[in-house]
Structure 1
Amino acid sequence: MSGGQGKQGKRKLAGQVVVVTGAARGVGELLARKLAARGAKVALLGLEPELLAKVSDDIPGETGHWHVDVTDFEAMDRVAREVKERFGRIDVVVANAGVAAGGPFTDSDAVSWNRVIQVNLMGSATTARAFLPTLTESRGYLLQIASLAAITPAPMMSAYCASKSGVEAFAHCLRAEAGYKGVKVGVGYLSWTDTDMVRGADQDEVMRELRARLPWPANRTYPLEPAVDRIVAGIERRSAHVYAQWWLRGMQSVRGYLPGIIGTIGQREMRRAEPKLSTTGVTRGLVGAGGAADEQARGERTG
């Protein structure tokens, strides 16, 4: 079900304290619910305080929620202290928060493009910096959520692919740095999964058509619950690699060939899409409800 340390037995999650970033919706929300159902105490972090409070109230057992931007290192340090004070320890941290933007790089909105890097890559580093000292005390586990985008590049997704490739490499570096201190580090890979982010990306006609033309099995959207079940299993095993869809494991063996293949086929697809891009224009801003929440939060801080 998951890679890395799959031969080891599952650890009981009952009583474990788990921090989940990006927990207001999508993967983070369902993950928090499923972890709590297994007896974990869950700290939910995110940008949407009303949704976080609702999810926290709906979850049975001991939970807490913190409204925080994962790119704010001072705020994340404070939250890390508060979570430890609240629960007494921290055993697992899932760096899940992420946003996305689509479209050709040269036509992209620079603010949105940069924000994808800030949230997905720098936000993950800020999360690790804030929580690794406590994870070292508990000899805990850090799971970095990456993506199929870390394995294969894709046109129209330069910011997202760059950020997810970055967090994959970052986590691999941490595995060596933190491992000898007793902290295990994993990377979680998801393909297109039924979340607000993916539904938001599909609202762009060109992005939707490009994705439909991908080869099977990368051209379909996968249900959320089975994907999250596999992530939970990976957390239980403290796996080095967690694959939310079964076929992603096989992509690792061919990833070295993919940039050349995508570079060739991608040119053909971009040439095909160019007339439509010229007439419909390029979608601006971050995609999906989570992206809208991020833009609203930034607007409120600067307004």
Structure 2
Amino acid sequence: MTKVSLEGQVAVVTGAARGVGELLARKLSARGARIALVGLEPEELKAVAGRLHTDCDHWHADVTDHEAMARVAQEVKERFGKVDIVVANAGVASGGPFAESDPDAWRRVVEVNLVGSAVTCRAFLPALMASRGYFLQIASLAAITPAPMMTAYCASKSGVEAFAHALRAEVAYKGVRVGVGYLSWTDTDMVRGADEDDVMRELRQRLPWPANRTYPLGPAVDRIVAGIERRKAHVYAQWWLGGMQSVRGALPGVIAAVGQREMRRFGPRLSGVATGLVGAGGAADQRERTGHTQRH
């Protein structure tokens, strides 16, 4: 597939305050793209903007808020004149047994990861149609492989994968390309936050290789940037993830058998697993919603 120069292109990155979004913004900027940062942490976004090499700006918005994202899309278009690339990266996670999960946290994972991605796409799709641009939906290994103790995250990432595949067929004739980005466990605040729980960390360590290790952020984001440059339909942040596609049909049965054994092993300890949103991003989301409730 032909490589597209990013020089002068306008890229919108959600969840840009930290982790994948922050480093992706820096690497896109280093290749000449102008960057619109979107997220919940204004001070963090401002700091990220200060580290970029090209023209950039930042917007504070909750990706699940239709009106806010419509406003952001309009302001980004006015600020930069166009939009060529949108990366729907914003996401949160929670863990623990579904039966004991926090209903609000469980719902919020689906709202941010799935609904927020659709809201983001809806807001920016007219601009992408005008530029014949590229929409990259960040999914996960969780879209390919079901995992116990991660029901909300798996449901949301399976959902965004299906959303992007369906959208691709709708908008291709308008010249818009749609990609899905897959990441395994990558060294971000989210993964480090999940690892703070002993049970979740030990369960992950018992996964078969190569899914049982945490991968460095830099090479993963380099692969995502390469996918963006080529407007790829599938972008794999770790080398082995593409091979998972060929065996995904067998994975639910395998996971069900192995998972039953592991749940029995960890059974006495499951009631102590934290069920709220994990990591610094989860904390930021909680603060945003709490502050919003207090203001209204």
Q: TM-score range by the shorter chain?
A: over 0.9
Q: Secondary structure at the match of 1:65?
A: strand
Equivalence for 2:64 = 71
What amino acid is aligned across from residue 64 of structure 2 in structure 1? Answer: T
- 1:13 matches 2:6: yes
How many Å apart are 1:61 and its aligned residue? 1.5
What amino acid is aligned across from residue 279 of structure 2 in structure 1? Answer: G
Distance, in Å, in 1 between the alignment partners of 2:123 and 2:136 is 14
- 1:48 matches 2:25: no
Q: Secondary structure at the match of 1:82?
A: helix
How many Å apart are 1:209 and its aligned residue? 0.6
Distance, in Å, in 1 between the alignment partners of 2:27 and 2:268 is 45
Equivalence for 1:292 = 283
Q: Of residues 162, 165, 170 in structure 1, which corresponds to 2:163?
A: 170
How many Å apart are 1:276 and its aligned residue? 1.5
1:47–1:293 Cα contact (<8 Å) kept: yes
Q: Secondary structure at the match of 1:254?
A: helix
* TM-score for both structures, normalised by structure 2: 0.99
Give % identity: 75
Q: Of residues 170, 186, 193 in structure 1, which corresponds to 2:179?
A: 186
- 1:31 matches 2:24: yes
1:260-275 superposed matches below 5 A: 260-275=253-268
How many Å apart are 1:282 and its aligned residue? 2.3
- 1:156 matches 2:146: no
1:108–1:282 Cα contact (<8 Å) kept: no
Distance, in Å, in 1 between the alignment partners of 2:98 and 2:54 is 45
1:196–1:290 Cα contact (<8 Å) kept: yes
What amino acid is aligned across from residue 301 of structure 1 in structure 2? Answer: H
Q: Secondary structure at the match of 1:144?
A: strand
Distance, in Å, in 2 between the alignment partners of 1:85 and 1:300 is 29
Distance, in Å, in 1 between the alignment partners of 2:218 and 2:53 is 19
CA offset digits 1:228-269 (Å, max 9, x no partner): 000000000000000000000000000000000001110110
**Poorly superposed stretches of 4+, deviation over 2 Å:** none
How many Å apart are 1:9 and its aligned residue? 2.0
Distance, in Å, in 1 between the alignment partners of 2:126 and 2:97 is 40
Distance, in Å, in 2 between the alignment partners of 1:60 and 1:181 is 32
CA offset digits 1:161-180 (Å, max 9, x no partner): 00000000000000000111
Q: Secondary structure at the match of 1:171?
A: helix
Distance, in Å, in 1 between the alignment partners of 2:253 and 2:270 is 24
Where structure 2 has 5 or more consecutive residues not aligned to the other structure, the ranges are none
What amino acid is aligned across from residue 184 of structure 1 in structure 2? Answer: R
CA offset digits 1:212-234 (Å, max 9, x no partner): 00000000000000000000000
Distance, in Å, in 1 between the alignment partners of 2:91 and 2:10 is 22
Q: Of residues 104, 113, 117 in structure 1, which corresponds to 2:97?
A: 104
Distance, in Å, in 1 between the alignment partners of 2:118 and 2:275 is 26
Where structure 1 has 5 or more consecutive residues not aligned to the other structure, the ranges are 1-7
Count of residues in correspondence between the two structures = 294
Equivalence for 1:5 = none
Distance, in Å, in 1 between the alignment partners of 2:46 and 2:66 is 22
